[in-house]
């Protein structure tokens, strides 16, 4: 349930045939399956199973963030229209967050809205992006600047698909899941600790638990906030600095740069240090951040490719600008007063943070090469 919108989310193991049968039961005249070239090559048979006897148009693009563009979107839209899709057709995303976002926008734009089904194949997509109505592509100016909100009919996840994910991609999604535990549902932290301690991040049993916990945490804040513009802004925890670190790192290292979730994990450390310096988070609560982030395999230090000045320059363009009255020299941030309790301005979980506070926290993370002892 996301605000006024609700949709079922089914998940299980080894269930692609059942997913195909459920898609057929929607009665589409045609499927438009949006995927990327790597997923398509790896899961060719699954694509056949998903489509069953329904005529399917497969729209595929090279994998990665660089495809979240208007050019790629417009190419897919034109191809779908030329293939004769109708209002009864269903757009199916089969892949990570990139095909998911492109499919979401396509479904919203075609005939002003056709049915959308998500079949996420990455932990980021399954545990984070499909639990949001946000659908966006990147502009030349920044990430996710062109977008809309659109709800799927239904989401289907087969956790078996995650077993082929490179370790860094698997962990990337789990960092977003950890963010939801730290910022929204600290009661799930013990379960996450157990999964980390058992070294079983990729076992189907653990993945089913992690998925369940992600759905619970994320829907707790989006239930009353369809557009993630009020309580749901807490989901941006770690993102102000995390996005900036990701952008700076990718400028230098390209696709070899930090995965999205790892960058967000570093952003959470920065946010935790700012909250600690304000006297909000305790030493222990900052240490919990380090315990979880390092437990998920993220080196708790800025990569050598990223300078504090560059990160601060990118943060100035953060897409949460405008939520708070403008105050020169400050940036709106999600900060925690304690685990699971964001600091509020009115009813918004955002507070203005001085650039000097961000710099001080970034300096701590930039200097670190091992877990920082606070206090
Ligand atoms: N809408 C939202 O609220 C929201 C939330 C989080 C992330 N996102 C977006 O999602 C994107 C990141 O998601 P992502 O990491 O899934 O990106 P992605 O789609 O690029 O997938 C990452 C990589 O994993 C590969 N892959 C996918 N499934 C695989 C599988 N089962 N086995 C092996 N490899 C596989 C892909 O080919 C790709 O190379 C970003 O664009 C981000 O903005 C959106």
Span 171-221, pLDDT tens digits:
999 999 999 999 999 999 999 999 999 988 999 999 999 999 999 998 888
**Cα separation of 214 and 216, whole Å?**
5
DSSP assignment of 148-217 equals EE---SEEEEEGGGGGGS-HHHHHHHHHHHHHHHHHT-GGGHHHHHHHHHTT-TTSHHHHHHHHHHHHHH
Ligand 1, CB within 6 Å, residue ranges: 36, 38-39, 63-65, 68, 95-99, 101, 121-122, 124-125, 128-129, 132, 134, 144, 161, 164-165, 169, 172, 260
Centroid of ligand 1 to alpha carbon of 125 (angstroms): 6
Task: Write the pLDDT tens digit of every residue in 252-285.
Answer: 998 889 998 999 999 999 999 999 999 999 999 9
pLDDT of residue 365: 94
Residues 116 and 263 in one domain: no
Mean pLDDT across 276-298: 97
Ligand 1 atom at minimum distance from 172 CA: 15
* Whether the predicted pLDDT of 374 surpasses 70: no
373 is a domain residue: no
Centroid of ligand 1 to alpha carbon of 374 (angstroms): 34
Range of the domain at 141: 9-164
Task: Write the pLDDT tens digit of every residue in 70-120.
Answer: 999 999 999 999 999 999 999 999 999 999 999 999 999 999 999 999 999
pLDDT of residue 144: 87
374 is a domain residue: no
DSSP 105: H
Given the residues 228, 236, 246, 357, select the one marked as catalytic: 236
Given the residues 134, 160, 200, 320, select the one marked as catalytic: 134
pTM confidence score: 0.90
Domain count for the chain: 2
Degrees to nearest 5, angle at CA 226 with 114 and 138: 65
Among 115, 130, 164, where does a domain finish? 164
Mean pLDDT across 36-60: 98
Residues 128 and 94 in one domain: yes
Nearest CA to ligand 1 atom 2: 129
249 is a domain residue: yes
Nearest CA to ligand 1 atom 35: 165
pLDDT of residue 143: 79
Active site residue 153: no
* Whether the predicted pLDDT of 157 surpasses 90: yes
Residues 290 and 363 in one domain: yes
pLDDT of residue 372: 47
Q: Where do runs of H (alpha helix) occur along the chain?
A: 16-25, 37-42, 44-51, 70-82, 97-109, 123-127, 167-183, 189-197, 204-222, 239-253, 260-277, 283-295, 308-315, 355-367
DSSP 73: H
Active site residue 134: yes
* Whether the predicted pLDDT of 6 surpasses 90: no
Candidates 2, 19, 39, 174: which one to mutate for ligand 1, based on the most atoms within 8 Å of Cβ?
39
Ligand 1 atom at minimum distance from 134 CA: 1
Candidates 16, 36, 60, 96: which one to mutate for ligand 1, based on the most atoms within 8 Å of Cβ?
96
Residues 107 and 212 in one domain: no
Among 108, 136, 164, where does a domain finish? 164
Mean pLDDT across 234-240: 95
CATH number for position 245: 1.20.1090.10
| Under 8 Å between Cβ of 232 and 202 | no
Among 164, 181, 201, where does a domain finish? 164
Candidates 35, 37, 97: which one to mutate for ligand 1, based on the most atoms within 8 Å of Cβ?
97
2 is a domain residue: no
Task: Write the pLDDT tens digit of every residue in 322-372.
Answer: 788 888 889 999 999 999 999 999 999 999 999 999 999 999 998 875 444
375 is a domain residue: no
Nearest CA to ligand 1 atom 20: 64
pLDDT of residue 370: 46
């Amino acid at each position: 349930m996301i605000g006024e919108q609700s949709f079922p989310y089914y998940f299980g193991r080894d269930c692609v045939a059942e997913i195909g049968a459920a898609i057929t039961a929607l009665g589409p005249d045609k499927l438009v399956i949006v995927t990327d070239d790597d997923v398509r090559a790896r899961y060719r048979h699954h694509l056949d199973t998903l489509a069953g006897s329904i005529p399917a148009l497969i729209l595929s693009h090279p994998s990665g963030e660089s495809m979240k563009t208007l050019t790629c979107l417009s190419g897919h839209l034109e191809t779908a229209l030329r293939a004769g899709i109708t209002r009864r057709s269903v757009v199916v995303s089969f892949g990570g967050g990139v095909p998911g976002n492109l499919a979401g926008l396509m479904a919203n734009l075609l005939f002003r809205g056709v049915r959308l089904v998500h079949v996420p194949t990455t932990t980021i997509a399954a545990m984070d992006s499909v639990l949001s109505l946000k659908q966006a592509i990147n502009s030349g100016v920044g990430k996710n600047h062109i977008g809309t909100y659109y709800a799927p009919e239904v989401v289907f996840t087969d956790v078996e698909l995650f077993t082929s994910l490179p370790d860094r991609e698997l962990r990337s999604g789990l960092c977003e899941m950890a963010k939801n535990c730290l910022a929204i549902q600290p009661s799930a932290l013990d379960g996450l600790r157990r999964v980390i301690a058992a070294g079983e991040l990729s076992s189907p049993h653990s993945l089913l638990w992690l998925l369940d916990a992600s759905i619970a945490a994320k829907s707790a804040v989006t239930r009353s906030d369809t557009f993630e513009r009020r309580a749901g802004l807490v989901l941006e925890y770690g993102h102000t600095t995390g996005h900036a670190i990701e952008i700076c790192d990718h400028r230098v290292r390209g696709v070899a740069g930090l995965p999205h979730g790892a960058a967000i994990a570093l952003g959470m450390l920065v946010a935790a240090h700012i909250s600690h310096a304000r006297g909000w988070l305790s030493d222990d609560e900052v240490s919990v951040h380090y315990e979880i982030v390092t437990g998920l395999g993220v080196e708790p230090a800025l990569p050598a490719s990223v300078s504090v000045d560059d990160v601060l320059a990118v943060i100035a363009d953060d897409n949460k600008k405008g939520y708070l009255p403008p105050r020169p020299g400050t940036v709106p941030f999600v900060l925690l007063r304690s685990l699971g309790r964001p600091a509020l301005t009115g009813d918004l979980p955002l507070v203005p943070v001085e650039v000097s506070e961000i710099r001080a926290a970034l300096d701590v993370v930039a200097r670190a090469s091992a877990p920082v002892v606070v206090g």
